[in-house]
Amino acid sequence: MNPWIFVGLFFVVGLLIPVGAIGIAWLLGPKKPNPIKQSVYECGIETVGESWVQFKAQYYIFALVFLVFDVETVFLFPWAVKLGALGLFAVIEGIIFILILVAGLVYTWRKGMLEWA
C-alpha cells in the first residue's frame, strides 16, 4: 500500500480535530454579537484609516533572499543523500554550489540590503 495514504489520513484527521473542536465550541457558546463587541481591538482607541496598511519594502527583501536560499538548499538534499557513495568529487561540486550561493548573500550584505532600516 502506498505510504502516502497514511500521510493523507494524517491531513484528514489533523483537520478534523480542530474543525470538531471549533465546531463544538461554536455550538456551545452564546452568540450575541453587537457592534461594540465586534469592533477591531486597538487598545480602546478608535481605528484610524484602513487596516490593510501598506508595508515597508524590507519585508519583501527578506522574503526574496529567503526564496533564493530555500530553493538552493532544497536542491542540496539529493546531493547530501548520495554523498557517501560519490566521493570527493561530489563534495567539491557541492562546495562550489554553496560558494556561489554565499556570493549572493555577500552581495546583498554589501549592498546594505540586510539592514532593517
Site for another protein in 72-111 (CB under 8 A): 72-91, 93-98, 100-105, 107-109, 111
Would you state the cell numbers that stand for residue 43, as one nine-digit string?
487598545
CB of 21 to another protein, least distance (A): 6
Positions in 7-66 near another protein (CB under 8 A) = 7, 9-15, 17-19, 21-22, 24-26, 28-33, 35, 37-43, 47, 51-66
Q: How far is the CB of 34 from another protein (least distance, A)?
A: 10
Please give the DSSP secondary-structure letter assigned to residue 14: H
Q: Provide the minimum distance between the beta carbon of 44 and another protein in the complex, in angstroms, as a whole number.
A: 11
Minimum Å distance from CB 117 to another protein? 6
End-to-end CA distance of the chain: 54
Residue 89 identity: F
Closest Cα to residue 79, out of 68, 67, 95, 66?
95
